[in-house]
Amino acid sequence: MKKVAYTSIRPTHGLNLLSQEEIYKLSNPSDDQYQLFRECALAVLNTDNTEDDAEQILSDYSDFDIKLTLQSRGVALEIFNAPAQSFVDGKIIIGIQKHLSSVLRDIVYADFKVLNGSDTGATITDKVFHILRNANVVRPNVSPDLVVCWGGHSIPREEYDYAKHVGYELGLRDLNIITGCGIGAMKGPMKGAAVGHAKQHVRNGRYIGITEPGIIASESPNAIVNELVIMPDIEKRLEAFVRLGHCIIVFPGGVGTVEEILYLLSILLHPDNKTSIPLIFAGPESCRGYFSLLDRFLRQCLGDDISDLYQIIISEPDKVGSASKKAVQDVHNQRRTNSEAYYFNWQLNIAPELQQPFEPTHENMAALRLDPTLAKHELARQLRAAFSGIVAGNVKSFGIRAVEQYGPYQIHGEPELMAAIDELLRVFIKQQRMKLGQGESDYKPCYQIV
């Protein structure tokens, strides 16, 4: 692999001014903030990388380093042994430089301004808002136009092209895109929307990528992202999606996509939520069976009424675009009528249990209550945690290490519920939706259904 031995750049976003304490914490190899900054910076410099094994990436670039140095005109970033793909003729790509500045901005702000103090439901929502406001993602006086696109990073070309076509239809309708910032079904809608925006002469198209430290190494930002936000953990990342988005489209994906769906359904099923979030499942004709399986899984787990919360559109990207535009207009009208903020869904009630970080240890995974007698929103929350743990075991460095040390996660529950989960996961393995390039013959499960 090619590397650039050394370069020095200045941060953008006004972050060339940092305090002595901030510089020390981000430059001291024994400090957790330094390790966090280093790993996130490496992920950004790996933009568009097709490797989704965080441990492998860290191993390949074990000699990578990034340091902050104080100079007469502010702070400089010194970068050693960086991936060569982020440079052109020895100079760093401007978009990559801005992403590095975003990483620095969000880590500094979260550590010094946000992650101190209590973590009640209201304060966590405030923290999510403060991070997004600091990143200039929430903007007043802008009509609703943000469509969240979820879907897998490990998808075949046909599904990627479909997601790109849908993004094109969204761009033609002046809609902007939020994704998890990675490749596959996250990159496709952004790339398509960029073309749609160009045709409509939209010069300020927004392609917002929201990630978190645990996933960014395995899902490096794609090249289309022009607003990158690093949330402190997966729960705040998920909350940012649902509070920012005016409509959500789900493309075919793996366990991470199902985790996102279950998180959202847990919110929509909560009795304290009177309004919904428009939710569309969309894919090419080849994915008709995928969505039939997903629909059956959700009905088996959460009851037939769950299908009232989403619509499924197979093929017809233009129909997905029209349905999304109408959904966004409906949200616009409803919020204007009720004098609610366009830029942040304050009215959404998110249970405190969904906001607290779930740590996927072997003990916590085995202790999950996967019991159909639970209230539907609570069962959806428990199921979301189970899929979150499988994501960690698949691609997150701490999860991979835990599975290597202690063996697969044990997932217990009511037999029919376990059978539904097992069927879904077996299909994901067969369709190579668990890890990039790993199908049924070479994927080693990080979980065991008991």
**pLDDT (tens digit per residue) in 157-207:** 999 999 999 999 999 999 999 999 999 999 999 999 999 999 999 999 999
The Cα 10–Cα 73 span in angstroms is 10
Kindly state whether residues 52 and 161 are assigned to the same domain: no
* CA-based radius of gyration for the chain: 21
Tell me the C-alpha distance between 331 and 145, whole Å: 10
pLDDT band at 232 (very low <50, low <70, confident <90, very high): very high
Q: What is the DSSP letter of 202?
A: -
What average pLDDT does this structure show over 364-377? Answer: 95
- Do 389 and 267 belong together in one domain? no
Distance CA 158, CA 286 (A): 8
Quick one: 419 and 320 in the same domain?
A: no
Number of residues in the chain = 450
Q: Look at the chain and report how many structural domains it folds into.
A: 3
- The strand pairing partners of 179, in sequence order, are 209
Do 286 and 188 fall into the same domain? Answer: yes
| Residue 380: inside a domain | yes
pLDDT tens track for 6-20? 999 988 765 666 788
Indicate the Cα dihedral angle 58, 392, 271, 422, nearest 10°.
150
Which region among 49-53, 140-144, 193-197 has the lowest average model confidence (pLDDT)? 49-53
Does 426 reside within a domain?
yes
> What CATH number does residue 80 fall under?
3.30.1850.10
User: How far is residue 318's CA from residue 283's CA, in Å, rounded to a whole number?
Assistant: 12
Which residue matches tokens 């042994």?
81
Q: What is the pLDDT of residue 259?
A: 96
Question: Quick one: 217 and 321 in the same domain?
Answer: yes
> 397 in a domain, yes or no?
yes
pLDDT beyond 80 at 74: no
Give the pLDDT band of residue 135 (cuts 50, 70, 90).
very high
Tell me the pLDDT tens digit for each residue of 400-439. 889 999 999 999 999 999 999 999 999 998 888 876 656 6
* pTM score: 0.93
- Name the 3-class secondary structure at 129: helix
Judgement on whether residues 224 and 142 belong to the same structural domain of the protein: yes
CATH label of the domain that carries residue 295 = 3.40.50.450
Considering the domain architecture, whether residues 175 and 248 belong to the same structural domain is answered as: yes
Co-location of 145 and 283 in the same domain: yes
Identify whether 116 is part of a domain: no
pLDDT at residue number 13: 65
Torsion, Cα 207 56 91 66, to 10 degrees, reads 100
Split at pLDDT 50, 70, 90, the class of 26 is confident
Query: Quick one: CA dihedral 183, 63, 85, 227, positive or negative?
Result: positive
What one-character-per-residue DSSP string does 75-109 give?
A: EEEEEEEEEGGGEETTEE-HHHHHHHHHHHHHHHH
The reply to whether 343 falls in a domain is: no
Beta bridge partners of 70: 75
Average pLDDT, stretch 41-69?
83
- 416 shares a domain with 291: no
Domain containing 442: what range?
356-449
In a shared domain, residues 380 and 328: no
Looking at the structure, tell me whether residues 211 and 258 fall in a common domain.
yes
